[in-house]
Structure 1
C-alpha cells in the first residue's frame, strides 16, 4: 500500500535535510508540484526562508521553447536560480528512497488566462474567469497535454492531475467578496457553467436559451424570488466528453506511468477535483478529497467503490486540527492515502501523519 505526502519544490530545494525529514514520516511516495497555480505558502522547516509567494502559475521544470506552440506556462520568476526545481527536488527524494509523482495543475492559471482571455471560462452573463482555462478550446487541451508530455519526456515519474477540466465560480479570486450574497450551492454551480465561444459551439442552438435561463435563475435567487429549475444536461454531457478525452490522451502520453486523477463523482463539480461520472473516465486511480467530516468522507469512498473498480486514493489533510486519522477511510475502500501536506505542517501535524502511517500500514 502506498502512503504518500504532498510537497512543494521550495520545501526541498536548498534544504539538504528535507528529503530525510519527509522519509522519516514513513511515506513511500511524494506528490511533488511540477506545474502549479499561484500561492503563498509557509515553509516552517526550511533553513533559508519562511514565506514563499509564488506570484503566478508556473512550471517548475525546464520550459523547452521548441516543444510549445500557442499557450505556454511561465517559469517561476521568484526562483530564477534553478530552472529545474522539480528535477532537483525529485532527485533528492529519490536518493532518500522515495518514489515521486508529478503534481500537475492543468487548467488553473491566472497568468495564462490573463494573457489569453479568449480561452477562459465565460459565465452566462458573459463575464470571464481569468484563472480558469476552458478545455473546450483546442489550445487549452494542447497546453495541458504538453505539460504532461514534457514532464514525461524529462522525468520517469507517475502523474497526479489536478484541475483536469473546468474551474468555476469558486476557487479563483483574491480577496473574495461574494459571501454576503448568500449564494446557494445551486447558484454557485450555475455561475460555474461555461458559455465561452467554444462551449457555445459545442452546445449549438441550446446555448442562448440555457444561458438566459441561468441568468434568470441566479438573479431570482439574488433578488429573493422563485425561479424554474434548470436542465443543464447538455453542458454536463459536453464536459464529460471533453474530460474523458483529455484523460485518455494524457494516459496515452504517459505510457507505463500511473495517471492519478483528482476527481469527484458528481458532474456538477468544478475546480481542482474534476466532476465526472466515475464509470466514464479511466485513469489508473481516482484521488478523492477527504478533507471534511470523516464519516462523510467514508460514505463518499463507499459510494465511489460501488461505482468503479479503479483504485481509490484518499486525499486527507493533516492541517485540520480535528483530523483523526484514516482507518475508517481504508475500511471504506481507499486503497492508498496521500497526506496534505509535508511542507506546510507544524511538528504536531507531521507527528500525526507519522502516527497515521505507522498505525495503518499494511
Structure 2
C-alpha cells in the first residue's frame, strides 16, 4: 500500500528538510512525498510554518529547473518560480534524500490549469460557446498547449527520475474556478457550469471536424441553454438525469450529444502523448474526481495508457469512499494502480476516527494507495491522524 502526502516546496523550505522528513515518515508513517512541481496561484493559510501564516505563490510557475534544450522551440514555455532560486530546488533535494534511504518521490504536476500562460497565449485557452476565453485553462486541443504539457512531463521525468508523476488537469476544466473575486449572481447549477465549460475554440472546432463531428452545430444549442439559464428568475434544471447519466443525459440534442461523445478524444490522445514522453522509470498516474467525464476524461481509456489513477474522495462518507473505490476499480481494471485521495480539512474530516473509517473503506474496497492533502495546510496534529489510520 503506497501512502503519500501532497505538499508544496515552500512547506519544506519553511520547516526544513530534516523536520519535514521526520513528520512524513515518522509521525504520519508515510512512504512517499507528492511535491508540487507546477502550480497555480492562490492564498494559503500556513498553520505549520514557523516563518509566516499565509503565502501567495506565483501564478502558473514551475518548481524545478527546466532543461533549456528541451524548450528551445516551444511556443509555450514554463516560468520558473522565484521560490526555486530563493529557497532551493526541493524536487532535487527530495530525490537526493530518496537515494539516501528517504521516502519515494512523486512529482505532482498541474498541466493545463495555468492563468499566467493563458493570459500570455489567449489563442490557446478554452472558449465558451459565446467565444469567451477561459484564461485559467489551456485547451487540450491546442497543439501549443499539448507540446507544453508533454515537454513538461518529459523534462521532469528524464531530468529528476521521480518514482511517480501525478497529472492534474490534463483535461478540460470546469467553469467555476475560484478565480480572484469570481462572481455568480445567477446561482448556476452543476449542469450550467458544465455547459459553460464546453470548449468551442478554433482548435476544438478543427479537431472535431477531422473526426467527422460538427462542433458548430452544437454551439447554438449550448448558447441557447446558457442564455435560458441566465434569464430565469431562479435556477431551473434543463437536463434531466444530469450528472448521473453522464453524456447520455444529452441524447435529446443529437448534435450536442455527438460533440460530447467526441470531447474525450483530445484528452485521451493527449494522455497517450504524455505517456510516450514519460521516462519509463517513472510511474504515470492521473489525479481526478468521481465524475471525470465532466472534464472529457474517459477513465477506461486513460487506464490503458497510464499506470493508474488517483481518485479524490473529498467530503465523502466511508460508504461513499467504498463506492468510489469499487467504481474506480471497475473502470481501470484489476492491474492498474488505484489511489484514493483525502482532504484533511475540518470539518470535512473531524477526527482520527473519522479519517481511519474512510481509509479502511478504501482499503477494503481494493485501493492500492492513499494520498493526503495537504502537509502545509493543516495543523501538525492531523499528521497523527494519518499515522493512526496507517496502523489500522
* TM-score (norm. length: structure 1): 0.90
CA contact (8 A) 2:3 2:32 kept: yes
- In 2, distance between residues paired with 1:7 and 1:227? 40
The alignment covers a number of residue pairs equal to 355
C-alpha deviation, 1:154, in angstroms: 1.4
CA contact (8 A) 2:128 2:200 kept: yes
2:195 pairs with 1:190: yes
Cα distance, 1:37–1:278 mapped onto 2, change above 3 Å = same
What pairs up with 1:91-240 in 2 under 5 angstroms? Answer: 91-92=96-97, 95=100, 97-157=102-162, 158-178=164-184, 180-204=185-209, 206-224=214-232, 230-231=253-254, 232-240=256-264
Match of 1:315 in 2: 341
2:8 pairs with 1:8: yes
Cα distance, 1:250–1:280 mapped onto 2, change above 3 Å = closer
* Aligned-partner SS, 2:391: helix
- In 1, distance between residues paired with 2:222 and 2:362? 37
- In 2, distance between residues paired with 1:52 and 1:265? 30
- In 2, distance between residues paired with 1:297 and 1:21? 26
Match of 1:332 in 2: 365
Match of 1:40 in 2: 43
CA contact (8 A) 1:4 1:338 kept: yes
2:47 pairs with 1:21: no
CA contact (8 A) 1:261 1:286 kept: yes
* Aligned-partner SS, 1:39: coil
What pairs up with 1:248-263 in 2 under 5 angstroms? Answer: 248-254=272-278, 255-263=280-288
Higher alpha-carbon deviation: 106-115 or 240-249: 240-249
- In 1, distance between residues paired with 2:131 and 2:23? 49
- In 2, distance between residues paired with 1:226 and 1:342? 39
C-alpha deviation, 1:244, in angstroms: 1.8
* Aligned-partner SS, 1:63: coil
Cα distance, 1:92–1:171 mapped onto 2, change above 3 Å = farther
C-alpha deviation, 1:77, in angstroms: 3.1
CA contact (8 A) 2:311 2:338 kept: yes
CA contact (8 A) 2:64 2:90 kept: yes
CA contact (8 A) 1:133 1:140 kept: yes
C-alpha deviation, 1:83, in angstroms: 6.0
Instruction: Provide the alpha-carbon RMSD of the alignment.
Output: 2.2
C-alpha deviation, 1:79, in angstroms: 4.9
C-alpha deviation, 1:256, in angstroms: 2.9
C-alpha deviation, 1:124, in angstroms: 0.4
Cα distance, 1:133–1:245 mapped onto 2, change above 3 Å = same
- In 2, distance between residues paired with 1:42 and 1:264? 24
- In 2, distance between residues paired with 1:39 and 1:96? 33
C-alpha deviation, 1:116, in angstroms: 0.4
Higher alpha-carbon deviation: 131-140 or 47-56: 47-56
- In 2, distance between residues paired with 1:19 and 1:95? 12
Match of 1:63 in 2: 66
* Aligned-partner SS, 2:158: helix
CA contact (8 A) 1:264 1:276 kept: no
2:309 pairs with 1:304: no
- In 2, distance between residues paired with 1:227 and 1:293? 27
- In 1, distance between residues paired with 2:52 and 2:101? 23
CA contact (8 A) 1:189 1:268 kept: no
- In 2, distance between residues paired with 1:235 and 1:333? 34
- In 2, distance between residues paired with 1:94 and 1:50? 32
Higher alpha-carbon deviation: 192-201 or 17-26: 17-26
C-alpha deviation, 1:71, in angstroms: 0.2
- In 2, distance between residues paired with 1:235 and 1:142? 24
In structure 2, the gaps of 5 or more residues are 240-251
In structure 1, the gaps of 5 or more residues are none
CA contact (8 A) 2:141 2:266 kept: yes
- In 1, distance between residues paired with 2:228 and 2:29? 53
Higher alpha-carbon deviation: 283-292 or 348-357: 348-357
